[in-house]
Amino acid sequence: MIMNPRAVAAIYRQEMGRFFRTVWQSLVAPVISTSLYFVVFGAAIGGRIQEVEGVSYGAFIVPGLIMLSVMTQGISNAAFGIYMPKFIGTIFEILSAPVSAFEAVLGYVGAAATKALVIGLIILGTATLFVDLQIRHPVWMIAFLLLTCVSFSLMGFIIGIWARNFEQLQLIPLLVVTPLIFLGGSFYSISMLPGIWQDIALLNPVVYLISGFRWSFFGLADVPVGVSLAAIAGFTLICLVVVWAIFRTGWRLRR
């Protein structure tokens, strides 16, 4: 089947247009939040913890801050993007139009991933105003960032399909994803935990994503880089399979 690029572009432009219409909420708010994190964690905790494995604490938390924003923004943008057509009923126009499931997902998830990527890069730029930052493996950094943007946008797309109301739309991001991110080594190294808690922390899938991303900056990792890549690739594959099943069965789309 030949892909319809106009359909993908139309959905993509529509979603990106919503992003730029709310530029203060979409771009300025994450920058302010990141600055506050640096002030609070950098000044308060950084005054007590000078270095973590030879890296200044202010620089050490940068990858975690970027992942925190990218994951949450990817989920929220994709979830809201597909939920609103369901809520107002325009989803049936998309389902009846000559647009394949792949094209619809590509448009919605592509836009959400682009938004998350832009925010991640802006936060990276903001971080350089506070700390001296060097990236040892820039290619791998971009690879981890892109995979995270795509995978969590796919997850948000699934949440948007699953949700029946606005409360459910926020349920998983607030009660599941955000705690996992904060407990996934965003602001500390897993090696700083007592032995048994290190084992428990390794059950958190977010640990592997943040660890691999931090390695691309400093060459430091809580788990092997290959395991981190396998984890993010596996998560992306699982999300793709779930999205495929949703469109194949019409689950929560036609009823």
Decide if pLDDT at 210 tops 60. Answer: yes
Model pLDDT for residues 82-139, shown as the tens digit of each residue: 999 888 888 888 878 888 888 989 999 999 999 999 999 988 988 888 888 889 999 9
* For the chain, percent of residues with pLDDT exceeding 70: 96
Other beta carbons less than 10 A from residue 240's beta carbon:
15
**Token pair in block for residue 200:** 């428990």
In a domain, 87, yes or no: yes
**Token pair in block for residue 210:** 């943040």
In a domain, 50, yes or no: yes
In a domain, 228, yes or no: yes
Other beta carbons less than 10 A from residue 199's beta carbon:
11
Decide if pLDDT at 30 tops 80. Answer: no
In a domain, 255, yes or no: no
In a domain, 151, yes or no: yes
Q: Determine the pLDDT at residue 115.
A: 92
Query: How many domains, in total, are found in the chain?
Result: 1
In a domain, 10, yes or no: yes
**Helix, strand or coil for residue 56?**
strand
Model pLDDT for residues 132-185, shown as the tens digit of each residue: 888 999 999 999 999 999 999 999 999 999 999 888 998 999 999 989 998 899
- Residue numbers of the domain that contains 105: 5-249
In a domain, 254, yes or no: no
**Token pair in block for residue 146:** 């892109």
**Token pair in block for residue 160:** 């948007």
